[in-house]
Copies of this chain bind each other. A is one copy, B any other.
Amino acid sequence: MSLIVQKYGGTSVGDPDRIRNVARRVVETAAAGHQVVVCVSAMSGETNALVALADELGGERPDAREVDVLLATGEQKTIALLAMAIKRLGREARSFTGGQMGMRTDRDHTRARIQDIDTVALRAVLDGGGVAVIAGFQGVDADGNITTLGRGGSDTSAVAVACALQADVCEIYTDVDGVFTTDPNLVPAAHKLERVSYEEMLEMASLGAKVLQIRSVKFAMRYGVPIHVRSSFKPDEGTWVVREEEVMERLVVSGVTYNRNEAKVRIKGVKDQPGVAGRLFTPLSDAGIVVDMIVQNLSSDGSTDMTFTVPVAEHDRALDIANQVAGEIGAAGVESDEKIAKVSIVGLGMQDHAGVAARMFRVLADEGINIQLISTSEIKVSVVIEEKYTELAVRALHSAFVESGAQEPRAEA
């Protein structure tokens, strides 16, 4: 007997028929002898409708505490409906709001962080043979105020509960078959990964493969709970996200990802002196702008160009701040570009081998693609290129690294 946490997103519970499908799947799992916790999101469309109401009544900045009270109704609706549907199939079930399941968070409304989960009530239902149906995305603070976890909160709820219950697996049901080596819409040769490490998944998730929320992967990594990303609509196995040592198939590169939703801002001719970076990035951070890549190169004359990327939606605000700072520090000027794409290769295999980056640059050069920025981490190399070359770059890199099945250290490094 295993303890399985299943998480179904908004699309999987989007209408009564789909909720019935989820109920059947849960009952089948329970009938196979497992203890089951099901974590659900709001029905698709529900959260957006509630946000629209909040904007209408609360104005530009609706009160955050009340936004959470409002949004929490979305998941509360789903847990009640799913618990009913499961009971109707003859299996005992009980719903839990964030408060009822002991999901304690800090007080940071609309983006609270989980502090603690008191699993006594959940355990009691599971030990009695029942299915626990829990609301994702929500919790309560120490005073009983309703909080929500922000974007991707339901994945995080599911994984956090799986960790707290020491579950055997946290299954994330989604509308894709698993985690792919790259976007199958761009590259027909893309294939599903059977296993991928937490570390690779983190890099892929943050780089734009929107299968799993990054916060939930961090949680699972910390507590060592396996995640199984799989299809709501098919019984097939999906992709297991596990510890590095459990990933058998050691490809040098596990995936190729891309992101077309960033813009690039460059401050030219910055005098190299201590504190310049802080003067730029402090006001950006204060403005709530999420900066992704930061690249700086010192030139021999002692001045430098400082380039960073931000979400396209933040481009104008970021540019304003950059212009102001550039004036203050006497830089030569500011440029920006929204027509860029970030393309990355991710793989545990590359951390042992120099030369993967070099090979990546050569593959792109062979296609005539100019590289504007480069940024690397232990298990990933990212480049920024002109947006119109995105597909070409992704296909060439997938072909060179993934389809070739490169598994050995390469001498050309």
Chain B residues near A20 (CB, 8 Å)?
57
A392 touches B (CB below 8 Å): no
Which A64-107 residues have C-beta < 8 A from chain B? 65-67, 69-70, 72-73, 76-77, 79-85, 87-88, 94-95, 97, 99-100
Q: Which of A67, A69, A85, A144 has the most CB of B within 10 A?
A: A69
Distance A231 CA – B82 CA, assembled complex (angstroms): 40
Tell me whether A80 and B66 are in contact in the complex, defined as CB-CB below 8 angstroms, given that A16-B53, A73-B73 are known contacts.
yes
Among B59, B65, B77, B85, the residue within 8 A (CB) of A88 is B59
**A196 to B395, alpha carbons, bound, how many Å?**
81
A58 CB contacts on chain B under 8 angstroms = 81, 84-85, 87-88
What is the predominant secondary structure among interface residues of chain A facing chain B? helix
- A63 and B77: CB pair below 8 A? no
Expressed in whole angstroms, the Cα–Cα distance for A97 and B97 within the complex equals 13
Interface magnitude class on chain A: 35 or more
Which of B19, B67, B100 touches A57 (beta carbons < 8 Å)? Answer: B19
- Is there a chain B Cβ closer than 8 Å to A62's Cβ? yes
* Bound-complex Cα distance A94 to B62 (A): 13
* Residues of chain B contacted by A99 (CB below 8 angstroms): 99, 144
Q: A366 in the interface, Cβ–Cβ < 8 Å?
A: no
A56 within 8 A of B: yes
Compute how far the CA of A16 lies from the CA of B49 in the bound complex, rounded to whole angstroms.
13
Any chain B CB within 8 A of the CB of A54? yes
Distance between A189 CB and nearest chain B CB, rounded to angstroms? 42
| A247 contacts B by Cβ under 8 Å | no
Question: Chain B's nearest CB lies how many Å from the CB of A21?
Answer: 12
Please tell me if A187 contacts chain B, counting CB pairs below 8 Å. no
CB-defined contacts of A19 to chain B, threshold 8 Å: 57
Contact, CB under 8 Å: B59 / A70: no
B73–A76 contact, CB under 8 A? yes
Verify B76–A53 contact, CB threshold 8 A: no
Q: Which residues of B contact A84 (CB under 8 A)?
A: 54, 57-59, 62-63, 66-67, 70
The 14 sampled A-B contact pairs (Cβ below 8 Å) are A20-B57, A57-B82, A57-B84, A58-B81, A63-B83, A66-B83, A66-B84, A67-B84, A69-B76, A69-B80, A69-B83, A69-B95, A70-B77, A97-B146
Q: A16-B53, A16-B56, A58-B81 are in contact. List 10 more A-B contacts (CB 8 A).
A: A20-B57, A53-B81, A54-B81, A59-B84, A59-B88, A62-B88, A65-B95, A67-B80, A70-B81, A97-B146
